Structure 1
Amino acid sequence: MTNLHYYVLAALLAFAFALRVPGLIRHWRDPFVRSVSLLLPLASAVFFFAAPPTISRVNGLTGMANLSAPVVYGIVTALSAALVNLMITWRGGPEEQRRAATRWCVGVYGAVIVALFTLFALGDAPEERLLDFDTHYANAPYIREMIVLYIAGHALSTLTLAVLCWRWAREVPGLLRIGLVLIVAGSFLSLAWDACKLLAVAARWTGHDWDGVSTTVAPTVASLATLTQAVGLVLPSVSQSLAIRWRRWSQYRRLRPLWLTMRAVTPYGAVGIPWWSSLSIRHLRRTILIRDGLRLLRASLDRDTSPCAQATTSILDPLEPESARHVSTVLTALAGLSRSAPGHAGSSVESVLEGDDDGLVMLSDAIHVLMVHDDHALRRFHRRSARPARSARPTGQPGGLHADRPSARPVGVDGD
């Protein structure tokens, strides 16, 4: 792997961290957000400080020939701890149990990092080695123990990560399972990196020269392991975000028939929003207008289950004929939902008004069915409901809900 590859991987991981900074600021108290946000800069730092030009620069700035070695090993150990901590947080469970496991993880790996620097200080490594530090000093006292310690610590955390993810992957479906399997695959590649390092060091112990396994094969395997684990970590969160957006868009689209109907009832239904508004704002505006319109009809909706009786209630009297036609559409749809749902109609109306957006979507779907599949029956019902509205209001009398404007805005125009 060339020097450029180190910096490209470091830049990609740093860019991924930069994308998560706004979410990190907004949700700093979320332990999962903190765990992922800590993992990305550590992984970026590993590749940045492991690049030979950076190793030479750090050694030159500090005046110590191989100080980069414990620095890189310490960052690798911290990354191992962050991976285990992420899995602890991701797995969930009782708060006290999770915090205890996190403290153990930080304590153990913190002690390993201290031991790495202590062993380096006790050892003697006067000749600067940019690529083959592990194999060149494989037989040096204390430096040998430092090398074995960081490889063993990384292998233990990687094996723990693989076991936890594999057990969890057997319990969950979908993209979360795929992400966990990718993390397991990346963990096995990381174990292969540990094996390459240990194999090259052991070869030096026996008088052989297998340095190429450590200087050429191991960095390539490490880059593949990091990319695989990164995809596995990102996939579940990205898929969840896409699923939420798709559900919101589907609800927004399916609420259109009910929204168009409520615009003839709600006095401020024609108020627009900027064209650049996000889907969340558009969805919120649409549901607010629908609920406000249904609350205006609530007194009538709670009185009876019969569409004919609903059509003759007083709420239709002060309305313009066009508004009364749309009100009767809502009443007919609600009556149909009440007949299909067990219990009294009032409970169905209450669930639509006070429940989540799913109830509004069901009502909107019912209106869509009336408009498409039962158009003749709906027109007959509209004629029945419009007669009392016209006879109850003297000729030339303005409508009650719409007295402050000359006429209702055409319902067929989508203002948002």
Structure 2
Amino acid sequence: MTAGDAFLCAAGGLFVATALKLRALRKNPGDPLLRAVCAMLFVAALLFLAAAPQHIAAMNDLIGAPNAAAPVVYCIMTALDGIIIVLLIQWRGNEDERRTRRQTRLCLTAYAAVMAALPVLFLLGDAPVERLRDFDTYYANTPLIREMIVLYLAAHSVAAATMTVLCWRWARQVPGILRAGLLMIAAGATGTFAYDVLKYTAVFARWTGHDLDWLSSRAAFAVSGVSAVLVAAGFLVPPVGQVASSSWKALRRFRQLRPLWLEIRPEIPPTNPRAMGWWRSVSLRLTQRERDIHDVVHRLGPYFDAATGRAVYAAALAEHRERRRAREEADAAVIAAAVLAKRAAGPVFCPGRRWVVTSVEDPQDLVRVARALARSPRVRAIRGAAAPPGPARA
């Protein structure tokens, strides 16, 4: 794969990531952090698209001047540097909102000034020979073009150093997936700084009459691709990881509630929507399952036998001496008995003789009731007592 192909692949991946984040932005358009992430991903994708050698040649032809693409690419890179620093400011947050806004304005103003200076220096300089891969070193000694190259590299180095220091510092203060994202950004920023060092070395070599152009035209290109992917991934990992973690927790609770849902399923009213298919969002399926459970528990209230609840509670408490666990087991037994009683057209208890099920308010309580339904020997005994006798043996 050529450098141009690698740049196009990186641009494609970043455009896909931008499209995914834009969907989230449409749902929450007022989120400044989300706007900054979308801008960062889009500008990064645009940078890789513009920096591909074949596109540099096309831009030169379109503009009608050799090397005109150079200040364009440098301006896009500078814009990306500014956006990333703003994103870090927004991501970090601060109790003083005015300070955050002031830091954001300062950063944007400084990088906007650099972006304005780059094309001016290019227009005032002289770069008549088109160079698609080694522009920085070829014109390292050309007045004003030299200053343009040093200016964009300096702005890039400031951004890289800022990202590296801030991310390493903040990574020590936060846990989990956010820390992983910050470490990835720090690693990418370190690579970005390495890119600048390679460029500086190649340019300085030209100033001293030596030729180390390969550091700029080959090594720096390779480093820039890896570092950009790491930085983009670092910003994407925390939100994606949080969504994945939430989905996993929802799926786990959905499965844990299965014994309770199977117990009450015969009593789910036919007017309730049918259970959603596996292809639907697990959070929606979990919400539906919890709603069905609460609905049926409410309907079964008249069949909750206080005598059954008290007996199971006493037996469970005597066995393991945990009041909450005993209560959950008693609730599970009462629900199982109520389902059987309603199916058999059993007696309806007056309010004074009804057991009040209390372990269904908290989601985690529901999970423990479901576990008791699956494991409790007392619940199995209630089911066994209600089972019809088997055929008589001869």
Matches within 5 A, 1:227-306: 227-268=229-270, 271-273=273-275, 275=277, 276-296=279-299
- AA matched with 2:140: A
- 1:134 pairs with 136, 144, 148, which one? 136
Aligned-residue offset at 1:248: 0.5
Distance in 1 (alpha carbons) for counterparts of 2:242 and 2:109: 33
Aligned-residue offset at 1:229: 2.2
Q: 1:65 to 1:307 in 2, by over 3 A?
A: same
* Equivalent position of 2:368 in the other structure: 362
- AA matched with 2:371: D
* Equivalent position of 2:151 in the other structure: 149
Distance in 1 (alpha carbons) for counterparts of 2:251 and 2:310: 31
Matched residue SS, 1:320: helix
* Equivalent position of 1:59 in the other structure: 60
| Percent identity of equivalent pairs | 39
- AA matched with 2:105: R
Q: 1:227 to 1:380 in 2, by over 3 A?
A: closer
- Superimposed CA distance per residue, residues 186-237 of structure 1 (whole angstroms, 9 cap, x where no aligned partner): 1111111101111111122222222221111110111121122233333333
- 1:378 pairs with 353, 375, 382, which one? 382
Q: Which moved more, 1:125-134 or 1:151-160?
A: 125-134
Q: Which moved more, 1:196-205 or 1:5-14?
A: 5-14
- Does residue 1:83 correspond to 2:75, yes or no? no
Distance in 2 (alpha carbons) for counterparts of 1:93 and 1:259: 45
Q: 1:154 to 1:306 in 2, by over 3 A?
A: same
Distance in 1 (alpha carbons) for counterparts of 2:45 and 2:14: 5
Unaligned runs of 5+ in 2: 313-330, 388-394
Q: 1:368 to 1:211 in 2, by over 3 A?
A: same
Query: Where do 4+ consecutive residues of structure 1 move more than 4 Å?
Result: 297-301, 303-306, 308-312, 321-325, 379-383
Matched residue SS, 2:286: helix
Q: Which moved more, 1:250-259 or 1:10-19?
A: 10-19
Aligned-residue offset at 1:322: 4.3
- Superimposed CA distance per residue, residues 300-335 of structure 1 (whole angstroms, 9 cap, x where no aligned partner): 88x9995369999xx979x6354769x99xxxxx98
- Superimposed CA distance per residue, residues 151-189 of structure 1 (whole angstroms, 9 cap, x where no aligned partner): 010110111111111011112233332332222111111
- Does residue 1:352 correspond to 2:352, yes or no? no
Q: 1:131 to 1:269 in 2, by over 3 A?
A: same
- Does residue 1:14 correspond to 2:15, yes or no? yes
* Equivalent position of 2:112 in the other structure: 110
Aligned-residue offset at 1:85: 1.8
The 8 Å contact of residues 192 and 223 in structure 2, kept in 1 or not, is answered as yes
Aligned-residue offset at 1:298: 5.9
Q: 1:139 to 1:264 in 2, by over 3 A?
A: same
* Equivalent position of 1:29 in the other structure: 30
- Does residue 1:40 correspond to 2:48, yes or no? no
Q: 1:299 to 1:274 in 2, by over 3 A?
A: closer
Distance in 1 (alpha carbons) for counterparts of 2:265 and 2:7: 59
Aligned-residue offset at 1:283: 1.4
- 2:127 pairs with 125, 131, 151, which one? 125
Distance in 2 (alpha carbons) for counterparts of 1:324 and 1:252: 31
State how many pairs are aligned: 359
Distance in 1 (alpha carbons) for counterparts of 2:26 and 2:284: 22
**What is the aligned-residue RMSD (CA, Å)?**
3.4
Q: 1:376 to 1:121 in 2, by over 3 A?
A: closer
Aligned-residue offset at 1:362: 2.8
The 8 Å contact of residues 43 and 80 in structure 2, kept in 1 or not, is answered as yes
The 8 Å contact of residues 151 and 194 in structure 1, kept in 2 or not, is answered as yes
Q: 1:156 to 1:300 in 2, by over 3 A?
A: farther
Q: Which moved more, 1:3-12 or 1:217-226?
A: 3-12
Q: 1:375 to 1:82 in 2, by over 3 A?
A: same
The 8 Å contact of residues 276 and 285 in structure 2, kept in 1 or not, is answered as no
Q: 1:202 to 1:304 in 2, by over 3 A?
A: farther
- The TM-score with structure 1 as length reference comes to 0.76
Matched residue SS, 2:210: coil
- AA matched with 2:245: A
- The TM-score with structure 2 as length reference comes to 0.80
Aligned-residue offset at 1:352: 3.4
* Equivalent position of 1:161 in the other structure: 163
Aligned-residue offset at 1:114: 0.9
* Equivalent position of 2:75 in the other structure: 74
Q: 1:209 to 1:320 in 2, by over 3 A?
A: closer
Q: 1:381 to 1:111 in 2, by over 3 A?
A: farther
Matched residue SS, 2:360: helix
Q: 1:316 to 1:217 in 2, by over 3 A?
A: closer
The 8 Å contact of residues 303 and 342 in structure 2, kept in 1 or not, is answered as no
Matched residue SS, 1:307: helix
